[in-house]
Homo-oligomer: A and B are copies of this chain.
Amino acid sequence: MKKLLNDPADLVAESLRGVERAHPELRVDHENRIIYRADAPVSGKVGLLSGGGSGHEPAHAGFIGPGMLDAVCAGEVFTSPVPDQMAEATKNIDGGAGVLHLVWNYTGDVMNFDMAAELAAAETDTTVEAVVMNDDVAVEDSLFTAGRRGTGAAIPVEKIVGAAAEQGRSLSELADLARRVNDNSRSMGMALTSCTVPAKGSPTFDLPEDEIEIGIGIHGEPGRRRVPLASAHDIAQMLVDPVLADRDFTGGEGVLVFVNGMGATPMLELYLMYNEVAALLDKAGIVPVRTLVGPYVTSLDMAGCSVTITRLDDELLRLWDAPVATAGLRWGM
């Protein structure tokens, strides 16, 4: 394993020290591994909390700031954070209007956020709602599984709900909005390589030079199926087809197309993928009105990409365009 680290056991803690030093606009509680907007709680505003395992950077801490999240909890690499962290963060971002938990749909995350909500209810009088994000169409038969994973949809959900929260909307309105954006989103990912969890020290799985995994998540896990290495053109088809088969994306103001890099894939290739994806959407009569290309939800040093499509209506488009100032997404301020 070749990585920039000291003791793998200290990776998350030391990286959070770096986040703290690099971002005076954030505040880090190292004991609880919570990263806050420096000015949290924002009085009168619903607090937005997310988080999850580490190794997905810029998710999650890269999306804290005006117009997006108020805090995130960081877990160990690929391991959900724990209820105590979440309860502590919930308490500290409650500006009097309640707190919305934006939960990525993984068994561990859901259970830990559930317990956190129970804790918060027992210990404080903060009103908490939770919305689970589950956009990954690679997970079929979701009745017989842990349900669809939360992947790329988190970015539009957190951005759009973040903008609406700044407008002073209520907790239940924001929860509805989060569900709406999530329902409007579908994703599918693929891997050229696995990734190396530092504590393990070797790649999670082996992938021969001439094979790729289709339908992966964001934890270096194997995907739904293994196929021979294919051209970007064919890979785009393998990602876009199941997304479009799962939901109608025509109509509205058009869509947000998000081509996400899994960590080790150069932007040069991601833009080439975007070209292929856009051509397929074009053929399907779907109109990309906003675009995001780059590594936003990564899986350590995995090479590969995912495609997320979010249908935008007029309101969602305006909220997407509203100002945001985070380390990972910034415009208008």
**A residues lining the B interface (CB < 8 Å):** 1-6, 11-12, 14-19, 21-23, 54-55, 57-58, 62, 77, 192-193, 209, 212, 229, 231-233, 235, 263-276, 278, 288, 291, 293-295, 298, 300-301, 303-305, 325, 330-333
Contact = CB atoms under 8 A, between A and B. Distances in A.
Contacts of A265: 3-4, 301
Contact of A331 (B6, B14, B330): B330
A212 B2 contact: yes
A53 B304 CA distance: 23
Contacts of A270: 4, 18
16 contacts: A2-B212, A3-B303, A4-B305, A5-B231, A6-B232, A15-B269, A15-B272, A21-B278, A22-B291, A22-B293, A23-B291, A54-B268, A265-B301, A301-B303, A330-B330, A332-B333
B15 A275 contact: yes
Contacts of A19: 271
Contacts of A293: 18, 22
Given A57-B268, A265-B301, A300-B268, A275 B17 contact: yes
Contact of A18 (B212, B273, B298, B333): B273
A275 B21 CA distance: 7
A15 B192 contact: no
Contact of A271 (B3, B15, B325, B333): B15
Contacts of A305: 4
B271 A192 contact: no
Contact of A55 (B58, B232, B266): B266
